[in-house]
Structure 1
Amino acid sequence: ELIKPLIRGRDVGRYISYWSRTFLLATGFDENIKKEYPAIYSHLHDYKDKLEVRTDKGEAWYNLRACAYYDAFEKEKIAWSRLMRIHKKEMRSFPRFVLLDKSVYTTDSVCIITGKALHFFIGVLNSRFAEYFFSKNIAILDNGGMQMRQQYVENIPIPKITERNIALKAEIEHLVKQVIEKRKNTQDTTDLENRIDRLVYEMFDLTEDEIALIESKAGLVGE
């Protein structure tokens, strides 16, 4: 299947995406589109003059350039926009991480990570703890945009899973799945997200004073 759903930075919300029915023709580096997909070849041929002058094409004018991470797009993944701004559809605008299905592709305005325990990780990344961490480590631009480079996300501390906290991890994953389903149906998830926040605090063994400090800064990033 060459036609892939495409997510842009502006489409990334908290836990869900606001997909705009945009698609990518994933024509591969050396896929013989003319032979294998004649209808797609016919469509692309209308744009041959523009496609031929690209500097980042593959074996033929209709191919994409070689890319080491195409396989990552075929996996379930966490995604976020490289530049986050206030999102009119979100009550909590920051941070915004979304779980994308297999075979969903993104533009270069979006970063992705793959791996295991993604429901747990996205719960941590969308938490008040993460909001506080990022507020101390990211670049905030003059226009209010928040620059979310890959290294900022890679450097966030993640609790090590032990016998002592594995039940908390499972509860976070359960709540995250509920949040995703409710958000898809435009239902309010404030209480569920607050419960996730408390569980994340517990996983980090934060004191009530530390929690109060984090909560006092909630919603202030980018203001």
Structure 2
Amino acid sequence: RTAELIRPILRGRDVKRYGYDWAGLWLINAHNGLKSKGIKPVDINDYPAIKEWLDNGGVAYNGKMYKGFSQIEKRSDRGDTPYNLRNCAYMEDFSKPKIVWAELARTGNAFALDFGNNMVGNTGYILTVPSNNQDELLYLLAFLNSRSMLYSLNQITTRFDENGWRWLRQFVEQLRVPPLINKNEILSIVATVTKDNKQEVSEILNNVIADIYNFTDEEKAYINQTLSNY
């Protein structure tokens, strides 16, 4: 039962291009439930060890001691009890296959696929598809990680310095992805990505996707030169 309450969580900094490095962090997902979807609220009394941890101060994290119950009872977003958070309308989406990315990035576009039932903190975003179709997610992932898409993002995205971007949701939503063009070719290439070869595979996908957008050789050269470090 504890697995229903304690969920692994990703921070934005954990997300890399085509993967992520989980830092071993967990989220206590004590929520109010969603009556409209038949999700019952979490009763902290069903988890006595966690309730005791919250009541008695918890543990130090990053040099700061969190005060457990004495802190959470004052939260403005508390739920029906001091232990619960208010309802999250998209809570179910964290349990779906999804694309994750960091809001702040210095490594260009770094989108990853998550099948691990991870929660994502407020320094990251998630993207799901209505069908939960893995092929659709992989197809989107290839485009989102491409240099062509990075060039588009670079035109519309807020920069916080010369080498850093903010991939806010409203910017990512503006990107245009062709509907399943060369789907099988792209999926077969994406399926070969590993931690060791992702740079090589990324370059192959960059060329395939640039051709889909009908970029000329001069346009490809300009984009590659402008964003050669990413």
User: How does the TM-score come out when normalised to structure 2?
Assistant: 0.82
Task: Choose the corresponding residue for 1:101, options 115, 118, 123.
Answer: 115
How far apart in 1 are the matches of 2:148 and 2:154? 10
Task: Choose the corresponding residue for 1:83, options 92, 100, 104.
Answer: 104
- 1:169-220 Cα distance to aligned partner (Å, 9 max, x none): 22212222321xx21xxx1332211111111122222222222222121236
Q: What amino acid does structure 2 have at the position aligned with 1:173?
A: L
- How many aligned residue pairs are there? 203
Task: Choose the corresponding residue for 2:28, options 25, 28, 34.
Answer: 25
- The residue that corresponds to 2:150 in the other structure is 131
Q: What amino acid does structure 1 have at the position aligned with 2:84?
A: N
Mark the runs of 5 or more structure 2 residues left unpaired by the alignment. 33-40, 57-67
Contact kept in structure 1, 2:108 and 2:165, CA below 8 Å: no
What value does the CA root-mean-square deviation take over the aligned residues? Answer: 1.7
Using the TM superposition, give the Cα deviation of residue 143 of structure 1 relative to its aligned residue in structure 2, in angstroms: 6.5
Q: Which has the higher contact order (CA 8 A, sep 6+)?
A: 1
Task: Choose the corresponding residue for 2:9, options 6, 22, 25.
Answer: 6
Matches within 5 A, 1:13-162: 13-29=16-32, 30-34=41-45, 36-46=46-56, 47-85=68-106, 93-115=107-129, 116=133, 117-142=136-161, 144-161=163-180
Identity %: 31
Using the TM superposition, give the Cα deviation of residue 78 of structure 1 relative to its aligned residue in structure 2, in angstroms: 0.8
Q: What amino acid does structure 1 have at the position aligned with 2:86?
A: R
User: How does the TM-score come out when normalised to structure 1?
Assistant: 0.85
- 1:130-171 Cα distance to aligned partner (Å, 9 max, x none): 11111111111236421111111111110123xxx3xx2222
- 1:59-114 Cα distance to aligned partner (Å, 9 max, x none): 111112211111110111111111112xxxxxxx2111111224200111111110
Structure (1 or 2) with the greater strand fraction: 2
1:143–1:58: structure 2 CA closer, same or farther, 3 Å change rule? farther
Structure 1: which 4+ aligned runs deviate by more than 6 Å? none
Mark the runs of 5 or more structure 1 residues left unpaired by the alignment. 86-92
Query: Is residue 215 of structure 1 aligned with residue 224 of structure 2?
Result: yes
How far apart in 1 are the matches of 2:198 and 2:229? 20
**3-state secondary structure, aligned to 2:109:** coil
